[in-house]
Each structure stands twice: as C-alpha cells, then as structure tokens.
A and B are shown apart, each in its own frame.
Chain A
Amino acid sequence: MAEEVRIIEDKATPIKKEWEEYARKGNWTVKGYEMVRALSGPGRIEDGEEEDFMVIYRPHGVLYRHSYGLVSKFFKGLIDKTLYGTKCPVCNTVYCPPRVHCWNPKCRVAETEWIELPLRGKVHTFSVMLFSADAFLEMLPFVLAYVQINGADTALPIQVVTAPTDIFVGQKVRIKFRENRKGDLMDIYAVPVKGQTTPEDSCLHRNNRDIEHLNRDLENTYAFLNKRFGIKKAEVERRWKAK
C-alpha cells in the first residue's frame, strides 16, 4: 500500500512563488566586495599589524516547509480564534504550550487530551523590549511576557499590549486575537484586565529612578522609530489604548 499525503487546505502557494523569485536573485553568489585595512594577529592591540582584507557580500535566504506535527491543532486553533491546551489524564497537568505526551516521568509518556482554555491569564514574568530582531523592530517598544493561562500549569510567551511602565508580575490579562492570523503565537496578544492597581512591591516600580531611566530610554526608542520608520510616539501610544 502506498502512503498517501493530501493537501487539504492551501494557504501557501503565493509565498512559494514569491520565494522562488527571491531565490533566483542568487543565493551563495557574491554580490559585492570591500577592501578593508584592519589589524591582524593574535596579540594585544598594540602588538597587531595592519593587513588588507577582501570582504565579500553573499546572501542566503531559505523558505522552510515545517510541520507543526501533532500540536497542529493548537496553531489551527489560533487561526480559528480558539485557545487550546492539553491535559494529562494520569496526573492532570494542563499544558499550554500543549504537549501531546505528558513529560511527567511518572506518567510514562501518557498521551494527553485536548481541552479548550479560557482567554484569561496572569503575567508570570516579563521584559520590556527596547531592541529586537529585524522583523519586530516596528513593534518596539513592546512587553514580552510569560503568561499563565487560567487553568494551565505552564506559561506561554506572549506580547502584552500596554504602556511598558504599567506592566507588573501577577497582572491579570485577557487574550485577544489579531485581525490577520497566520498560524503562530503572534496571532494572539494580551491586554491587562481593567481596574488593576500596581502592587507596591512590583520590581519595576520599587524605585522611581528605575522608572525614570525606563522612560528616558523609551524616548530614545521613539526617536529611533521616527527616524527609521517614520512612526510617531503618538501612534505607538494609540496601540496601547486601542484594545
């Protein structure tokens, strides 16, 4: 019997075509070069001698075809605006991110069951990002948090859309779906539940000096956004209000 694989939904053909065009621009071939005069040698700077180096520019872009495997249900769920986790029938651990097999050594790789989770959670910990990978630069500044979804025992990495100086550990959040969903965790984001007050012992808020410094560097980030992308501070602040 031959093994049969069927594509039952195709949302990929346009990008495959686009990427073929990109690839034809020529991966691995030299696109330009510079001659650079720089220090050579293993020792201290004062011991180095200058040499001339030829430096080439060579691109490499790839389109991967990657299966989400047996947790595909979670990612298809994001597209369909449902948040799923899994539950171990032996030890009752609830996983979100989901695991199809329980990792509790006592459960001997038990198969878990899918459950629907509420769109509510709590910030377990966070970072305020003022620098990121190229693909996320336009989203700066943003709060990256690990959120424990209500009923789940693990924490999910997620962006919290809020003023960075308002975030705190233990903050209750609602999970929202973005308009254009593509099948990864960026399809969802969190917003703080209204009416919460910042606890006195919040590590971000303990010292006024720390908040002042964060505000100072947020201004630097706005200046960067304006210069690089023409994004104004007011537009960024609107993101946090339009929930």
Chain B
Amino acid sequence: MSDRRVAILGGGLYRPGRVRYDNAEEGVAMAYKNMLNDFPNLDPQDIQFVQSSYFSDHLNQQLCMAWIVQDYIGQHRKGGYRVEAGGSTPLDALLNAYFLIKSGQYDLVLVVGWEWMSEVDTATANEFIASASDTDWDFTVGGFYNGYYAALETRHMQLYGETIEDLGRIAVKNRNNAVHNPYSQWRAEHGTAYVTLDDYYKDRIIAWPYRRWDCALISEGACCLLMGSEKVAMKYSNNPMWIAGVGMGTDSMRPGDRLVDWAYHGVYKAEEKLYPKNIEKPVTPYPEMANFGFAREAVKQAYAQAGIRNPLKEIDLAELFAPYDGVELCLYEDLMFCHRGEGKTLIREGVVERGGELPCQLSGGLTAFTHPVGATSLLQTLFLYWQLAGLIRKKLGDATLQVRNAKKAITTGHGGTGCQGGVIIYSRD
C-alpha cells in the first residue's frame, strides 16, 4: 500500500427528516452547495471523481439514480460510480474513495450519499430493506430486520446478562445527545427536552427486546464530503481529518448459520473462551448469533494501521453504525472497548456517555439523529470532522456536544445482520 495520506477535507449536509419533499438530486445539490460554502478556493472542476452512495433501487422506482445526481450537480464528465451493500453502503463509499486516492489514481474525490425512504409506507420500506436478507429463508417467516436483530440481541442478553434497562440507558443517552443536534430527527419531532428511563419504558415494544426507541429511524436526507490526498489537502482545508486506519470484514448472510461458522472457527480464541459455562456451546462460539465478527475482523486491521493498542484510552469519541441499541452494546465488545460480555458495564458506568471516557453516538446516532442509509456514515463522518476540527459550536449553534481537544475518532458501518462492514479511524494530526 502506498504511504500517501488521505483526508476528509470537509463537507455539507441536507437536513434529514422522516419525509422531505425536495427530490433526492435536489437534496444532494443543497448539501453540495452547503459544502462549497466552506471551500471558497475550490473550483468544482478540480474534483476528479464522484463516489456515489445510496442503498435501495426499490424505494424510488429508479435504477442508476447516481447518474441523475452526478449530472444534476454538474459533476458529469468525471469518473464516477455507485457502491451498494445495504447499511454498509456509505462506509464502503468512503473506503472506496480512500482507496482511489491512496492508490494515486486521484487526488480530489467528492463523496455524495443520500436516501429517500418515505415514498412507500413504513411496512413496505421495512419489506424492501428486508429484501437485503436471504429472501428464500429469513424473510419468509415474517421477520424483517427488527425481528432478526431483536433475536440476535436476545441471544447476547441470554449469554451475557445485559437487561432491558441497559438498552434503555443507551436509548436515553442517544436522545439526550440528539437534542443538542439541530439536524437530528429526534429534535425535529420531539423538541429539546431531555428524556428519562421512565419515558423509555412507556415507549412501545415492536420486536422484543426492542422498543421503537431502540430502532433506527426512517429518513430522507443527503450528505457530501470532499476527500483529498495530502498533496492537495492543505490547499483546500485548514483542518483536514486524516484517515489513520481502515478495515473490512464479512460474516454469513443468514445469522442462523453462524452456529457453525467455519470461517471464524478458532480464529478468535479469547472470545470463544469468554462463553458462559452454563450454556451449551454451538460448534463455533464466536461470533455466534451474539456478536459481530465482521467488526472484530475489520477493527483488527484498522487498529494495526493506526497503531492503536488501547482503544478506550486512545480514541476520543465514536460514531457507530448501530441501527439497534443492542448493536451498539455488542460493538463496544467487538471493537475491543471492553472484553466480550462487558458491554453492559460501559453503559452502566457512563464510559460511553457525554463526558465519559469514550462517548458514543454524540450525534444521536441512527436511532435519534438519522438514518438515510446511503448518507448515514457520511453524516456521522461529517459530525466527527466537526468534532476534530473544533467546529461543533459553529455548526450546531451549541457547544454541548463538543469533545474538547478530540484527536482520534472511530466510525463503523455495516449491512445486513452484520453480513458485511468496515471500520475507519480518523485522526486530527
């Protein structure tokens, strides 16, 4: 791999909402315009490649929407293509842009991401999203992702003893962060009052152990990021955010197959050993249906590249791809913030809260900020960019969420039930 450094130079967003009536290409154009305002020295013709990111063709009765978007913002002529991998789509777009620059092929790449999810009703949106599961096997029994993920969390709960209250703590934490984010859907729909565990308990269960508050939002929104090599970074940006390490991983399509996950068998022995003694072990004890093997696989590569040995101490904040609150808890473990089974301790002891040692989802995350799939990791990355550049007060009009002197951040992405995903470590220096 070349030793060329690659940075996020900045970006812009189009405020996500449950339903927006500007079109996808118009939303992207507004996010792009918002981004250009921060780059007075950027001639749009300097951009060499456009990396597009959106998830579903079904949601809008439109294939190849990237072509519409790229020409709408006058960026046609340059190379460009879309990547797609369910929820992993926007992280993969960032990784792909990184590889294009890292390889020396390009110096300046525009990443555009969006999703317009409310052209069909909620049940149909869930159906379309669930067609990313194995439709011959997992979809036919009436699950869709709420159900699959709920079943994964039930397993983790049974093995490692976290409670509904722990999930509630995560839900409350993320909402009480989102009220300070004026772009969050939570704030748009519920205002700026803090919530409590009692409020959480009143919320309706939709797929036990998950309540509505535990689940990702349905969103329409867009985000643009400008990425460049070190050759051009300082020309356009005073505050580049460097990519210090990346990694990718996959797991089986069907979660039920992970009981005999030969590809993982014996690879993560320490985690296999942390399996409760009183429960009968499946052939492959890690990740089983309880943890996310793809994330461990990805983060191992990313930490090695970034030289991170103690993530809890060395990383200042995290924006995780956690479409369900149990996923957030499991990722604490799989990203090695703690040992397997100790995720519950990090939330109970406030480690991941605002002001804690490693705050997670300060933006509000997928359950309280937003989740327009193709834009999600871009929005989380933009939020981290503002954090590392010290721009939270300027961008949000409120400095509450600003982590002081933040130097290193982590973001993750994943699709399916953890079928595919990746990790990016960002660094201010």
Contact (A145, B151) CB under 8 Å given A41-B22, A125-B289, A128-B208: yes
Q: Which of A71, A104, A186 is the one whose CB lies under 8 Å from B262?
A: A104
Among B205, B263, B282, which residue has the most Cβ atoms of chain A within 10 A?
Answer: B205
Evaluate contact between B205 and A157: CB separation under 8 angstroms.
Answer: no
Given A105-B262, A146-B151, does the pair A213, B201 have CB atoms closer than 8 Å?
yes
- Give the residue of A41, A45, A133, A154 whose beta carbon is less than 8 angstroms from that of B30: A41
B window 393-413: CB within 8 A of A: none
Interface segment among A1-9, A11-19, A53-61, A231-239: the answer is: A53-61
B207: Cβ under 8 A from any A Cβ: yes
CB-based nearest B residue for A184: B140
- Once A44-B183, A133-B126, A203-B158 are accepted as A-B contacts, the answer to whether A157 and B138 lie under 8 Å apart by CB is yes
A132 an interface residue at 8 Å Cβ cutoff? yes
Closest to A71 in B: B136
* B102 to A: closest C-beta gap in Å: 29
Q: For the complex, is A86 an interface residue (Cβ under 8 Å from B)? A: no
Say whether B151 contacts A144, CB under 8 Å: yes
Q: Using known A-B contacts A40-B21, A131-B146, A135-B142, determine if residue A124 contacts B137 with beta carbons closer than 8 Å.
A: no
A45 touches B188 (CB 8 A): yes
The contact string, 1 if C-beta is below 8 Å from chain A, for chain B 197-217, is 000010011111110000000
- What does the 1/0 interface line of B129-153 toward A look like (CB < 8 Å)? 0100000111011111011101110
**Are B30 and A44 neighbours in the complex by a CB distance under 8 Å?**
no
What 0/1 readout, one digit per residue, does chain B (373-411) give for beta carbons within 8 Å of chain A? Answer: 000000000000000000000000000000000000000
Do A130 and B137 touch across chains, with their CB atoms under 8 A apart?
no
Neighbouring B residues of A226 by C-beta, 8 Å: none
Residues of A within 8 A of B13 (CB): 42
- From B126, B136, B150, B152, residue with most partner A Cβ within 10 Å: B136
Is A214 touching B205 in the complex (CB atoms < 8 A)? yes
Please give me the residue from chain A that is nearest to B27 by CB atom: A42
A36 lies within 8 A of chain B by Cβ: yes
Closest CB-CB distance, A211 to chain B, in whole Å?
10
Known A125-B155, A130-B208, A155-B289; judge A40-B22 contact (CB<8 A): yes
Q: Which residues of B contact A139 (CB under 8 A)?
A: 142
Residues on the B chain within 8 Å of A131, using CB? 146, 206-207
Please state if A207 and B21 are interface contacts (CB–CB under 8 Å): no
Among A51, A97, A158, A207, find the residue whose CB has the most chain B CB atoms closer than 10 A.
A97
Whether A206 contacts B137 in the complex (CB less than 8 A), given A42-B13, A169-B154, comes out as no
Cross-chain contact of B21 among A55, A146, A158 (Cβ < 8 A): A55
What 1/0 flags go to B246-277 for Cβ under 8 Å of A?
Answer: 00000000111101101100000000000000
Min CB gap B218→A, angstroms: 13
Find chain B residues with CB under 8 A from A124 CB: 155, 256, 259, 282, 289
Hey, which chain B residues are within 8 Å of A148, CB to CB?
A: 259, 282
* B305 at interface by CB-CB < 8 Å: no
Check: A82 CB closer than 8 A to any chain B CB: no
Q: Which of A45, A53, A68, A156 contacts B256 (CB 8 A)?
A: A156
Residue with the highest number of chain A CB atoms closer than 10 Å, among B126, B206, B210: B206
Are A203 and B262 closer than 8 Å at their CB atoms? no
CA of A121 to CA of B209 in the docked complex: distance in angstroms? 23
Instruction: Count residues of chain B with CB under 8 A from any CB of chain A.
Output: 66
Distance (Å) between the CB of A106 and the closest chain B CB? 7
Which of A36, A154, A186, A206 has the largest count of B CB atoms less than 10 A from its CB?
A154
Q: Is B5's beta carbon under 8 Å from chain A?
A: no
A92 to B352 alpha-carbon distance, docked (Å): 44
**Is B182 engaged at the interface, CB distance under 8 Å to the other chain?**
yes
> Can you name the residue of chain B whose Cβ is closest to the Cβ of A159?
B141
Q: In chain B, what residue has the closest Cβ to A202? A: B158
Asked whether B75 is an interface residue with its Cβ less than 8 Å from the other chain, the reply is no
Q: A132-167: contact bitstring with B at CB < 8 Å (1 yes, 0 no)? A: 111111010010111010000111111100001000
Do the beta carbons of B34 and A42 come within 8 Å of each other? yes
User: Which residues from chain B contact A135 at a C-beta distance below 8 Å?
Assistant: 142
> Least Cβ distance of A119 to chain B in Å?
17
What is the bound-complex CA distance between A156 and B208, given in angstroms? 19
Cβ-defined contact, A154 with B182, below 8 A:
no
B32 (CB) vs chain A CBs: closest residue: A42
- The answer to whether A153 touches B282 (Cβ under 8 A) is yes
Query: Is residue A117 within 8 Å, beta carbon to beta carbon, of the partner chain?
Result: no
* Assembled-state Cα–Cα distance A4/B204 (Å): 55
Please indicate the chain A residues that have their CB under 8 angstroms from the CB of B418 in the complex.
Answer: none
A198 on the B face (CB < 8 A): no
**Does B151 lie within 8 Å of A97, measured CB to CB?**
no
List the B residue with the shortest CB-CB distance to A103: B262
CB neighbours of A137 from chain B (8 A): 123
Contact pattern, B 360-371, Cβ under 8 Å of A = 1, otherwise 0: 000000000000
Quote the shortest CB–CB distance from A212 to chain B (angstroms).
9
Extra inter-chain contacts (15) besides given A129-B146, A144-B142, CB under 8 Å: A36-B21, A38-B21, A42-B13, A42-B27, A93-B262, A125-B154, A125-B158, A129-B142, A129-B207, A132-B147, A146-B256, A154-B259, A170-B279, A210-B163, A210-B209
For the complex of A and B, the 8 pairs showing the least CB-CB separation, nearest first, are: A127-B150, A136-B142, A155-B256, A42-B30, A125-B155, A128-B208, A153-B260, A104-B262
A-B contact pairs, 24 of them (CB 8 A): A36-B21, A39-B21, A41-B15, A42-B31, A45-B182, A93-B262, A93-B283, A97-B256, A125-B154, A127-B148, A129-B150, A130-B208, A132-B123, A133-B142, A139-B142, A144-B147, A144-B207, A148-B259, A157-B137, A157-B141, A158-B141, A185-B141, A203-B161, A210-B163
